[in-house]
Amino acid sequence: MAGSWVTVATDLIPLGLVISLSPLTVIPAVLVLEAPRPRPAGLAFLAGWALTLTAVTALSVVASGYLGGLDKSPPRWSDWLRVIMGSALIVYGIYKWFTRKGDSESPGWMRSFSTITPRRAGLTGAAAALLRPDVVLICVPAGLAIGTAGLGRADDWLAAVFFVVVAASSVAIPILAYAAAGSRLDGTLGRAKAWMDKNNAALMAVVMVVIGAMVLRHGLEALHHRHH
């Protein structure tokens, strides 16, 4: 069982990091703290984000029971899914790198956070998880990887929680830190926002290539083991 847990965790960590390290995840978590009521707005955004990630992952865990049959070993298609997804992330990252612009005027959606209410922040957090194709395309294979690993029902849900913690960590850290420290973090958050505004395209490109390579390696290793 410990071996299975380690295997599943090494699959889930790179998938979770694709979500948590994406500038599209980190930037809103910093921007929401510029709201008129930053503490409740931040906590509402975190709740909407984490609950939606949990729901999509949980549905995928349940769906894996229907898709994967009763086999205890992951189906072959799940390995190919990792290979395809890893390759796509690398290609997308390279594309983002070569199409990034030197000047970086903040888009309208980033400026809108300065007037956001706690209720709208919660809805925005949920929508950010549900409507971003990259998030759904990662939560689904994560849930399928958990559901086809043969861990048992209780461990499946623990693994799902582990994945959500990794995926939501970059949103949780600044928001919970601000909830604890308050305005003492204003200067740090301001500098972080300015840096991310300027470098968000390059950041996303590098993160996508690195994480894509990790996901691709896991898929190729799994396919290699099937042949031996």
Tens of each residue's pLDDT in the chain, 228 residues? 444 777 788 888 888 988 898 777 888 888 898 888 989 999 999 999 999 999 999 888 888 766 655 444 556 777 788 788 889 889 988 988 888 775 455 556 666 787 899 999 999 999 988 888 778 778 877 887 788 777 777 888 888 999 999 999 999 999 999 888 877 777 777 777 777 777 777 877 887 787 788 778 877 887 777 766
The model scores a pTM over 0.85? no
* Cβ atoms within 10 Å, residue 116: 23
Quick one: pLDDT at residue 190? 73
pLDDT attached to residue 105? 54
pLDDT at 70: 43
pLDDT of residue 125: 93
Q: What is the pLDDT of residue 111?
A: 67
Contact 76, 161 (CB under 8 A): no
CA–CA gap between residue 224 and residue 209 (Å, rounded): 22
Site of tokens 């979770």: 16
Q: What is the pLDDT of residue 3?
A: 46
What pLDDT, on a 0 to 100 scale, did the predictor assign at position 114?
Answer: 79
User: What DSSP line would sit under 150-195, residue for residue?
Assistant: T--HHHHHHHHHHHHHHHHHHHHHHHHHHHHHGGGGHHHHHHHHHH
Place of tokens 């950010």: 128
Structure-block tokens of residue 52: 């939606």
Query: Which whole-number Å values give the CA distances from 227 to 14, 76, 224, in the listed order?
Result: 24, 11, 5
The DSSP secondary structure of 50-114, one letter per residue, reads HHHHHHHHHHHHHHHHHHSTT-SSPPHHHHHHHHHHHHHHHHHHHHHHHH--S--PPPHHHHGGG
In the numeric block, the tokens 């809103």 are attached to 28
